[in-house]
Amino acid sequence: MAVKLSENAKLIIDRLRDSGYSCYAVGGCVRDSLLGLEPHDWDFTTSALPDEIERVFADCKTVTVGKKFGTVAVILDGHPYEITTYRIDGAYSDTRHPDEVRFSERLRDDLARRDFTVNAMAYNDTDGLVDLYCGQQDLSYGVIRCVGEPEERFSEDALRILRALRFAAVLGFSIEQKTAEAILRQRKLLNEIACERIRDELLKLLCGDKVDFILRRYRTVIAVFIPELQGTFDFEQHSKHHNRDVYRHTVAAVKNVEPDPLLRTTLLFHDIGKPLAQTTDKYGVCHYKNHPKIGAEMTREILRRLCMPTAFSEEVCLMIRYHDERFKPDPAMLKGYLKELGAERMKRICKLQRADIMAQSAYLREEKLSNLSAVERELDRILLSGECYNLRMLAVSGTDLLHLGVTSGIVIGETLDTLLSKVIGGELPNEKEILLQYAKKTFDKV
């Protein structure tokens, strides 16, 4: 597979070369292009110094926030393209940024500082692919391998530990043995990494196709920043509904749902409350009655610590609270849940339940799946037919009740709730005149 430069990528390389400097596309854009993927971003490395980059692109808008590290972003067609001077990094005392950088005139020096071989390739149309660390070979074999000594790469920037796991999960690659051993030995370096950086890598990892293998093989790495998960490791459930311990069940459930960050995050934590909720009956069977509530409370704290957006966190916690709800294909019941949760959330919870069931034992699995399918069909029928399940769909409004002479906001609210409950329960049709007659009779009795 050849590297195909975008028009703007060619423009940047050609303009720097025409000005007497060498320039290459480098890193993830080269990797993705060789994999036949469309790069999300194009990054460049060049012999030009930052001031020289600015002069070459004097007619363009530039961003120089990273200038002291050699990076100038050039804005073309509203999109930033980062161009970085060849450099040699000094020590990393904060496990993120080099204390100092020295600019170099050699591409070799710049490639030597990069994290993994598959990210240490450079390309331009004149020189072709520059691959000093067998990155193309590792790409073809599906291997994540550090450039040089893994311990050095991870001590420079500990987030590389999580990036290795993310690349392996997303690309479906294996992690080379020395790199894998260093990840496990140095995993506690992740304690030094900002929560926002960990959050971003975790969400990408969770959406990888190989997420199940990575979560199992490197569970102690994940537990560095989510120690609450350790309680689920090897925690047997002692129930005929389960043939896996809590953590292995969790991993299987995550894999069973589509690669959506919200759904997969919810499933990562959906049973985290089980070890604290466990009770055992006189027959030795374990039960977990309050685990959704306990799990939601635990998850809220975990997601706060990981700096997840509040709306995302609240949605995850709410779905954990309802993930074990026993839905039935009963119209009144489902319309009650639709009133409380909304249509989109109900559909997501059904997806979660299907993934959860498929990660359980075969005991009653077909019955559970059959019931869930019936629930989904009934939900679709309710939604397609436009049957009333919330106040916006009710045939009467607060204004209609005002016209009946009701002036108390509290009474209006209570009356509307009563009418909606009667409609959802099938006791009254959602017809304006009938509902107003019922309301008037109710007021006349007061």
| pLDDT digits 0-9 by tens, 209-258 | 999 999 999 999 999 999 999 999 999 999 999 999 999 999 999 999 99
- According to DSSP, the residues that pair with 310 across neighbouring strands are none
Q: Which CATH class is domain 142-225?
A: mainly alpha
d(CA 115, CA 185): 17
Average pLDDT, the chain: 95
Rg, the chain, Cα only: 29
- Taking the CB of residue 229, how many other CB atoms lie within 10 A of it? 20
The amino acid occupying position 21 is: Y
Alpha helices in 306-394 (DSSP H): 310-322, 331-341, 343-358, 365-385
Model pLDDT, residue 2: 80
Query: DSSP characters for 100-119?
Result: -EEE-S-HHHHHHTSSBGGG
Assigned superfamily of 7-139: Beta Polymerase, domain 2 (3.30.460.10)
- What are the pLDDT digits (tens) for 338-356? 999 999 999 999 999 999 9
Pairing of strands 143-144, 174-175: parallel
Q: How many Cβ atoms from other residues are within 10 Å of residue 14's Cβ? A: 15
Element of type H or E holding 31? helix 28-34
Q: Is the dihedral of CA 345, 350, 351, 353 positive or negative?
A: positive
Residue-level pLDDT at 1: 63
**123-173 tens-digit pLDDT:** 999 999 999 999 999 999 999 999 999 999 999 999 999 999 999 999 999
Using a 10 angstrom Cβ sphere, with 0-12 exposed, 13-18 middle and 19 or more buried, the burial of residue 59 is: exposed
- CA gap 109, 27 in Å, rounded: 14
Tell how strand 101-103 and strand 174-175 pair up. Answer: unpaired
pLDDT in tens, 77-118: 999 999 999 999 866 666 566 777 899 999 999 999 999 999
Amino acid at 244: R
Q: Using the 8-state DSSP alphabet, how is residue 2 labeled?
A: -
Let me know the angle formed at the C-alpha of 120 by 109 and 33, rounded to the nearest 5 degrees. 140
Residue 32: phi and psi, rounded to 5, are -65, -40
How many Cβ atoms are within 10 Å of 221's Cβ, its own excluded? 20
Asked if residue 35 has pLDDT above 70, the reply is: yes
Find the mean pLDDT for residues 428-434: 96
Q: Does the domain spanning 226-387 belong to CATH 1.10.3470?
A: no
> pLDDT tens digits for 167-207?
999 999 999 999 999 999 999 999 999 999 999 999 999 99
Q: Which amino acid is at 63?
A: V
Q: How many CB atoms lie within 10 A of CB 13?
A: 24
Q: Write the pLDDT tens digit of every residue in 265-290.
A: 999 999 999 999 999 998 888 999 99
3-state SS assignment for residue 252: helix
Q: Minimal CA–CA distance to 3: which of 174, 150, 124, 87? A: 124
What proportion of the chain, given as a percentage, has pLDDT over 70?
97
Nearest to 298 by CA among 269, 268, 263, 275: 269
